[in-house]
Structure 1
Amino acid sequence: MLPNLHTYHRPESLEEALRLIRQPGTVPLGGGTHLLPSKDPSVEAVVDLSRLGLSYIEGKPDRVSIGATVPLQRLMESADLVDLTQGWIREVVPLVASRNLRGQATVGGMLACGEADHPLLVLLLALDASLTLWAPERRTVGLDSFLAYRRRLLTGGGLITELEIPRPVGVVGLGFAHVGRTPKDRPIVCAASFLRLEGGICQEVRLALGGVGDRPLRASRAEQHLMGKEPSVEQVEEVAALAAEPLDPPADFRGSTEYRRAMAKVLARRALLTAKERAGAG
């Protein structure tokens, strides 16, 4: 638990929550799955977000909007998200944690923690997700940019209120691949890919990787290599190699630097070929 926690706030408006969070030693509380076990001695007060009306999933013509206090488990139960992700949300969310933790952990907490191997963040990067952040004014930030500057954006009272995923238009395919100690374990390395094709040619390419750095990341140079080209097996091999080449993953007990880099190449290839197949070009 938090050894120096002495104050609990439960505001009923966003304005009040933002005012409270900007006070020294005060942090937002969503599901608490990361905060409460952290034993962070700097936390003196928490701001419960449960009464701010942020527990929604709203399907709109051009996007799906998700409130920050939505539990992760609800994502895989949303017909809108199942359709938008070509069913991948049901495959990826169970990789995050146990059923009990998924029912408690929130979208906002997931984003704020920005874990490097988080499979759902990798999938969201491939989907070009963005989020609404108050820091201190309201702004919309692409997920890739947010993860790169997460600590800076959240320091001093930043608060995430919404996640948005655009609805893909046209001939599109989404792929995901991962490796773990067991098939249902949290991934050691994972990859997700999005392709939009016109006449069999790539007009939009996104390739995201997890477990290969200090955050989930986009393989931008590899993406550009495939733009304007047919996603042939040969091209996909080149793109996967380009994605893995600059990586210098930190090693731990689950995998060495060399293993993670090698798996990034293999999984990028699998994700790209799956996206190609789902776009009808397989």
Structure 2
Amino acid sequence: MFEFVLNGQVVRVPGASADMTLLDYLRSRGLTGAKEGCAEGECGACAVVIRCGRPNEAGSEYRAVNSCLMLLPMAAGREIDTVESLADDDRLAPAQQALAAAGGSQCGYCTPGFVMSLMAEYYRPGRVGACDPSALDGNLCRCTGYRPIADAARSLGPATPDRFSARLEHSVPALEQVTVDGFSRPTSVDSCVALLQGNPTAALVAGGTDLVVERNLRQRRWPHLVSVEAIEELHTLDDTAECVRIGAARPLADLLRGWSDAPEAVREWVTLFASPLIRHRATLGGNLATASPIGDGAPLLLALDASIEIASPGHDDADPWAGLGHLRPPGVGAQGEPALPSTRSTSSPAIGQRQAKRRVMPLAEFFTAYRQTRLAPGELIVAIRVPRPLPRRLRFYKVTKRRLDDISTIAAAFAIDAPAGIVGRARVAFGGVAATPLRLPEAEAALEGQPWSLATVARAQDVIQRVLQPLSDHRGSREYRLAMACSLLEKCWWESQS
């Protein structure tokens, strides 16, 4: 059994399993405002709001998420609101009133989802001025009434104090361990690795934005799921002189928080990756672990020379921080014991407790075949490391059927350092052109040491044409993908001249 807060009331869920989504549970309780429109996180008709924050940070915020992509046990310990909770004594909430006044509802099927996304934006901490209509990017209206919906968002000024704004003054408690039929949520890397060892057929899940789609649309089931959402270490972001270390389970919506000098290409990538409803749940670790050849995270991180930290089953006398250098917590010795009794670090297990080993692997070596990686049974990605210095010029491109919230036909990332007009370091990475995301060392070699010119780009394009062997599918032909790969590199050059 577990419990969570639903519309202000504590709900206890006995006998729950991982074979039910939060959306199905809500509708079984008569809360039918949230609806299933697509079952894959593209329409937002099922949107609900979760109060989110870090346990060690003051305050909190509301985030709209797709309830069709949350398994019911993922709700344990959370505070969730549906559209039914908003009105007071038959008085509409601000988001509802704004949509009604602007004529922003036609058939009404999508309206509750729009309301919840707009509600989260209305109470967004630090918001100045009108609500931003881009907060609704993950909600689709099939009646095409977008202008009045956007007008409704722009009509809302600063939030007025009420019961919803009062909640945001409080921090969010840490997620606790959960164990129900077919689902476990450990609270540390060590316990997670131990669970994986004890359940060889278990699958890891982070935000669920890919795995739950497989459940919904392809009826896939897993003997046991192990969630990493309650492992605090996997949510951190550490910005040091040597690297930016991003926890594998940190939601993409938080990627830029704490990374003050993130390149503009990274900021653009976050927006292009998916809608806010997805970014509030999706993680870098999950995006890499799925090993999709069209995943958007890998090309950008390959161009950044990223590496990944992996935790694996260890031994009592193993050093869990071996090979991690400056990432070892201050005061922690080789066996995880403190160097001095007064500086014991909570980042490391106690002496004698079984520890997970740590190793670091270049991302360029991580993918082995279609949907296959070098992760061994019992291992999980702990963090992604982006080394400093960052490239001087970094560009990311995503070719899709529609601009936002779509799957790539081809993705490309280029990192070019040419401070004096001569290319010093070049990184060329693609997704959607092979069975795995990849870097092209041959194209990089054609660029490095040469003038940053169209002639040099043309030589690299010749290499791309010769080396890449993309397949044809319903998103694009082999010839189209080759042409786009070459064109995107040239586009990078032209943009560098402006």
TM-score by length of 1: 0.87
Q: 1:261 corresponds to which residue?
A: 482
Partner of 1:163: 384
Q: Which residue of 2 aligns with 1:84?
A: 262
Contact 1:177 1:268 (8 Å CA) reproduced: no
Q: Please point out which of 396, 409, 412 is paired with 1:191.
A: 412
Question: Structure 1 stretch 193-202 or stretch 155-164: which is displaced more?
Answer: 193-202
Please identify the structure whose Cα radius of gyration is greater: 2
Indicate whether 1:146 and 2:366 are aligned.
yes
Question: Against the structure 1 CA distance between its residues 178 and 8, is the aligned structure 2 distance closer, same or farther, given a 3 Å change threshold?
Answer: closer
Aligned equivalents of 2:392, 2:383: Cα separation in 1:
25
**Structure 1 pair 29/183, CA: closer, same or farther in 2 (3 Å)?**
closer
Counterpart of 1:49?
A: 228
Long gaps (5+) in structure 2: 1-16, 21-179, 314-356
Identify the residue that residue 18 of structure 1 maps to in structure 2. 193
Aligned CA distance change for structure 1 residues 197 and 147 (closer, same or farther; 3 Å) = same
* C-alpha displacement of 1:234: 0.5
1:12 is matched by which residue type in structure 2? Answer: T
Q: 1:79 to 1:186 in 2, by over 3 A?
A: farther
In structure 2, the partner of 1:74 is 254
Pick aligned residue for 2:211 from 25, 29, 35: 35
Bigger relative contact order, structure 1 or 2 (CA pairs below 8 A, ≥6 apart): 1
Cα distance in 1 between the residues matched to 2:295 and 2:437:
7
Consecutive unaligned residues in structure 1, runs of 5 or more: none
Corresponding residue for residue 251 of structure 1: 472
1:85-128 residue CA offsets vs partner (Å, 9 max, x unmatched): 2x112211222222211111112111101221223321111111
Shift of 1:269: 2.1
So what's the TM-score if we normalise by structure 2?
0.51
Please, which moves more after superposition, 25-34 or 192-201? 192-201
Structure 1 residues 152-211: Cα deviation after superposition (integer angstroms, max 9, x where no partner): 522412200000111226x82112233222233433112211122353322211011111
Give the secondary-structure state (helix, strand or coil) at the position aligned to 1:262: helix
Q: Is the 8 A contact 1:96 1:118 kept in 2?
A: no
Work out the CA distance in 2 between the residues paired with 1:78 and 1:245.
Answer: 41
Instruction: For residue 148 of structure 1, give the secondary structure of its aligned residue in structure 2.
Output: strand
**Which amino acid counterpart does residue 236 of structure 1 have in structure 2?**
V
More strand by share: 1
- Paired residue type of 1:219: L
Asked if residue 99 in structure 1 is aligned to residue 276 in structure 2, the reply is yes
Report the Cα offset of residue 7 of structure 1: 2.3
Aligned length: 273
Partner of 2:443: 222
Deviation (angstroms), 1:3: 6.0
CA drift of 1:12 comes to: 2.1
| Residue 201, structure 1, aligned to residue 379, structure 2 | no
Q: What's the offset of the Cα at 1:224?
A: 0.8
The offset of 1:145, in angstroms, is 0.8
The Cα shift of 1:135 comes to 3.7
Contact 1:27 1:157 in 2 (8 A): no
2: distance between equivalents of 1:134 and 1:151?
A: 18
The whole-number CA distance in structure 1 between the counterparts of 2:389 and 2:361 is 19
1:174 maps to: 394
Residues of 1 paired with 2:214 and 2:403: CA distance?
A: 28
Distance in 1, matches of 2:231 and 2:376, equals 21
Letter in 2 for 1:96: F
Instruction: From 456, 470, 480, give the equivalent of 1:235.
Output: 456
| Distance change (3 Å), C-alpha of 1:186 and 1:93 | farther
Equivalent position of 2:290 in the other structure: 113
- Structure 1 residues 12, 119: closer, same or farther in 2, change over 3 A? closer
Q: Is the 8 A contact 2:418 2:452 kept in 1?
A: no
On the 8 A contact 2:244/2:259 being kept in 1, the answer is yes
Aligned-residue offset at 1:42: 6.2
- 1:241 to 1:190, Cα distance in 2 relative to 1, 3 A: farther
Question: Which structure: greater helix fraction?
Answer: 1
Spell out, residue by residue over 1:23-53, the C-alpha distance to the aligned partner (whole angstroms, 9 max, x if none). Answer: 2221222111122232375621122212221
- Is residue 25–residue 42 contact of structure 1 (8 Å, CA) maintained in 2? no
In structure 2, what is the Cα distance between the partners aligned to 1:26 and 1:178? 33
Among all aligned residue pairs of Structure 1 and Structure 2, give the percentage whose two residues are the same amino acid. Answer: 32
